[in-house]
Amino acid sequence: MNTKILVIDDEMHIVELLKFNLETANYEVHYSYDGFDGFIKAKEVKPDLILLDWMLPNISGIDVLRKIRSDKDLQNTPVIMLTAKNMEGDKVEGLEVGADDYITKPFGIKELLARIVSVLRRYNLNTKLEDDVLIYKDIKVDLSKHEVLKSNEKIDLTLKEFELLRLLLQNKGKVLSRNYLLDKIWGYEYYGETRTVDVHIRYLRKKIEGSNEKYIETIRGVGYKID
């Protein structure tokens, strides 16, 4: 079965260009021209990856992304923002909301196809983890079930939060730099922009640490570790 890609973009010529090149690369392509319909179609199609424009009718792409990341059926779907919004702040916002990559228009088809392969590869690796369980204090991480328990109660983590916790536990005692975490989890060239790691670590801490607990240690100027 071919990998399914959903294109959500209101520019018809862009959709046609993407449809032609993606189908030539043996992807199954679905598309929508506005944000609201795009989200509904994502629920119906359950794509393997979404290419999402920012400036859309009805609902903006960034709001569609927020809905995707808060939807239990779609929250782990890889999303690449494909947009004309090219300011640094726009890129940071898109990535912090949950985009797996951010590509500005105009774009090269070869680069886009390579980025798609890279994102899908990361997700495939994430879903083919060995059957294993990581234990740390009252935290249990079941890699095969993609499940996290704290004191035997399930904690809902986003894919990025789960991967951060997994990497920190698998490298217990080692300091993992922000750039290393960006490369391993986001796979995106941030040009030194590491704030998104700090934001996700903050969210992760709120979910796994109690009021008197400190599991993730910040190493000032470098990164994070779990002892």
The rounded distance, in Å, linking the Cα atoms of 26 and 127 is: 22
| Range among 59-63, 86-90, 170-174, 184-188 with highest mean pLDDT value | 59-63
Pick from 23, 17, 21: nearest CA to 4 = 23
Fold of 4-127: Rossmann fold (3.40.50)
Using pLDDT thresholds of 50, 70 and 90, give the confidence band for residue 88: confident
Q: State residue 53's pLDDT score.
A: 95
Torsion of CA 108, 111, 114, 120, to 10 degrees: -70
208, amino acid identity: I
> Which residues face 102 on adjacent strands?
81
Over its C-alpha atoms, the chain yields an Rg (Å, rounded) of: 18
Using pLDDT thresholds of 50, 70 and 90, give the confidence band for residue 193: low
**Residue range 197-223: mean pLDDT, rounded:** 90
Q: CA 131, 135, 140, 146 torsion: positive or negative?
A: negative
**What number of helices (H) and strands (E) belong to the chain?**
8, 12
What are the start and end residues of each CATH 3.40.50.2300 domain in the chain? Answer: 4-127
Q: CA 118, 181, 73, 13 torsion: positive or negative?
A: negative
User: What is the per-residue pLDDT across 214-226, written as a single tens digit (0 to 9) for each?
Assistant: 999 999 989 999 9
Q: For strand 176-177 and strand 49-52, is the pairing parallel, antiparallel, or unpaired?
A: unpaired
Q: How far apart are the first and last CA of the chain?
A: 43
Q: State residue 89's pLDDT score.
A: 83
**CATH of region 133-225:** 1.10.10.10
Using pLDDT thresholds of 50, 70 and 90, give the confidence band for residue 192: low
Poorest-pLDDT segment among 1-5, 34-38, 98-102, 174-178: 1-5
Calculate the average pLDDT of the chain: 88
Residues 6+ apart with CB under 8 A from 192: 179
Residue 224 tokens read as: 């994070």
Q: Are 163 and 185 in contact (CB under 8 A)?
A: yes
Q: State residue 1's pLDDT score.
A: 62
Q: State residue 131's pLDDT score.
A: 46
Q: Please determine, for residue 6, whether its predicted confidence score (pLDDT) is greater than 90.
A: yes
- pTM equals 0.63
Q: State residue 182's pLDDT score.
A: 84
What are the start and end residues of each CATH 1.10.10.10 domain in the chain? Answer: 133-225
User: What is the per-residue pLDDT across 123-174, written as a single tens digit (0 to 9) for each?
Assistant: 764 444 444 788 888 999 988 778 899 988 999 998 889 999 999 998 888 9
The rounded distance, in Å, linking the Cα atoms of 6 and 26 is: 14
In the β-sheet with 133-136, what is the strand arrangement from edge to edge? 133-136, 139-142, 147-150, 153-155
The rounded distance, in Å, linking the Cα atoms of 45 and 121 is: 20
